[in-house]
Amino acid sequence: MNQLTPKNWIFIKQRLTPYLFLLPALVLLGLTVFLPALQAFYLSFTSYEDIAQPPQWIGLANFLKLWKDAVFWKTLENTFLYLVGVVPILVIAPLVLAILVNQKLRGMNWFRAAYYTPVVISMVVAGIAWKWLYAENGLLNQFLKALGLFPEGIPWLTSPAKIFGIIPISLASVMAVTVWKGLGYYMVIYLAGLQSIPADVYEAAAIDGSDGISKHWDITIPLMKPYLALVAVISAISATKVFEEVYIMTQGGPLSSSKTIVYYLYEQAFSNLEISYACTIGLVLFLIILGLSILRLVINQEGGDNITI
């Protein structure tokens, strides 16, 4: 029988010590994340409307109900429109801002701080402020009236009418808040990428006659592709999970025109008390976010460890 020598004991301690430090966090994570997730998965196959009674197994009934639920498909469509509308802007606009504030000019730090300020503002505060701006007699409509445009104002948050027959006005208005609040965050990610590009590359390009916009088109964008892809995936995940803006500004209305899948999940769970059905919606949301998260991991591996956020 092999005896535990001091040398073997030291080796075991070295191998086990990191896991022992991780153990409290893993236990906490298991109790607060994994256990509730498993319970939600189980509840999606049950009927659990009365919390005083134990859940009743009903198999795939909730999924069949989901398949026939017109409101669910509407929220899925709205979430997709949200993603398509927000992600391209949050990929391109922050890169432009990052290039502008990356110049070695006096006062650039003030511009960086100004662009980043919305990120640190609570979404509750931001939502209330924007709701006031969007009001019938709010600042935005007053400004348009002063210019002689839209004398009756625009019902930014109360109209189900669609812009170009595609995106409801109410949904587009909420999307604008998401873009405004996210610009600074993604700008910082791009700044990290821009500052990792050696100055020698730009100097060599200048010798070859590349300058201005062509310099960024030929050098900056190709070298920033891993960051562009990463920002696209992160912003897509955030857009899929959007909730606070909708809850504060429109509560999914009017006529579900701004209702997203996360808000619908909340509505079913806490307004209608259909816990099991909400868990079913949550399972669909989990699969969507899982796919986007896997895509993010693939991008991280292809782009290198230095861009992991």
The CATH number given to whatever domain includes residue 237 is 1.10.3720.10
CA atoms in the 13 A half-sphere facing the CB of 58: 17
For residue 55, being part of any structural domain is answered with: no
For residue 82, being part of any structural domain is answered with: yes
For residue 287, being part of any structural domain is answered with: yes
For residue 233, being part of any structural domain is answered with: yes
Are 180 and 115 in contact by the 8 Å Cβ rule? The answer is: no
For residue 31, being part of any structural domain is answered with: no
Query: Which is it for strands 167-168 and 162-163: parallel, antiparallel or unpaired?
Result: antiparallel
> What totals of helices (H) and strands (E) does the chain contain, helices first?
15, 4
For residue 160, being part of any structural domain is answered with: yes
* 79/69 Cα distance (integer angstroms): 16
Q: What is the full per-residue pLDDT of the chain (309 aa) written as tens digits?
A: 455 566 666 666 677 778 888 888 989 988 888 898 899 999 999 998 777 788 899 999 999 999 999 999 999 999 999 999 999 999 999 999 998 888 877 878 888 888 999 999 999 999 999 999 999 889 999 999 888 888 888 999 998 899 888 999 999 999 999 999 999 999 999 999 988 888 787 777 777 777 777 777 878 888 888 899 889 999 999 999 999 999 999 999 888 999 999 999 999 999 998 999 999 999 999 999 988 888 878 877 765 545 544
Q: What is the reported pTM?
A: 0.85
For residue 49, being part of any structural domain is answered with: no
151: DSSP letter: T
Are 207 and 144 in contact by the 8 Å Cβ rule? The answer is: no
What's the structural domain count of the chain?
1
Are 191 and 62 in contact by the 8 Å Cβ rule? The answer is: no
108: DSSP letter: H
Helix locations, 153-210, DSSP H: 169-194, 199-207
Query: Which residues form the domain of 189?
Result: 62-199+211-307
For residue 95, being part of any structural domain is answered with: yes
Core vs surface per residue 182-199: b (16+ CB within 10 A) or e: bbbbbbbbbbebbeeeee
Are 275 and 49 in contact by the 8 Å Cβ rule? The answer is: yes
